[in-house]
Amino acid sequence: MRMTDIPFATTDWSAIEPTEHAGATGKARWRTRRFGDIRVRMVEYAPGYSADHWCSKGHILLCLEGELRTELADGRVFVLKPGMSYQVADGAEPHRSSTAAGATLFIVD
């Protein structure tokens, strides 16, 4: 990732209007900013959320609150708790996430 032409600025995430995204079960609320080709999101997964697709997009993801379960297509499962992160490249291991109790994430992709 190369970051260019982004002047210094701060983001008050509470001032960004959320968009809702349905999963196979539950919903996600995204607060999104774009900086050229870079998408930065604060994502809140509701309790019971489960993704409705396998994702092949690369991400750097930090769990801020709750607990996130991420399954890879090869069967491996990872659980993130607050302060834990994962990173995956575009086109690498397909993954999908779910949460029983809800989770808040900071994601750069």
Output the domain CATH number for residue 46.
2.60.120.10
pLDDT at 34: 94
Ranges assigned E (strand) in 38-91: 38-45, 59-66, 68-72, 77-80, 85-88
**Rounded Cα distance, 55 and 26, in Å:** 17
Within-domain flag for 7: no
Within-domain flag for 12: no
Q: Is the pLDDT of residue 77 over 70?
A: yes
Q: Which of 30, 38, 73, 75 is nearest to 53 (CA)?
A: 73
pLDDT at 13: 96
Residue 44: give the domain boundaries.
Answer: 37-108
Q: Is the pLDDT of residue 43 over 80?
A: yes
Within-domain flag for 9: no
- 3-class secondary structure, 103: strand
- Average pLDDT for residues 93-106, to the nearest whole number? 97
Within-domain flag for 6: no
Domain count, the chain: 1
Within-domain flag for 95: yes
Within-domain flag for 24: no
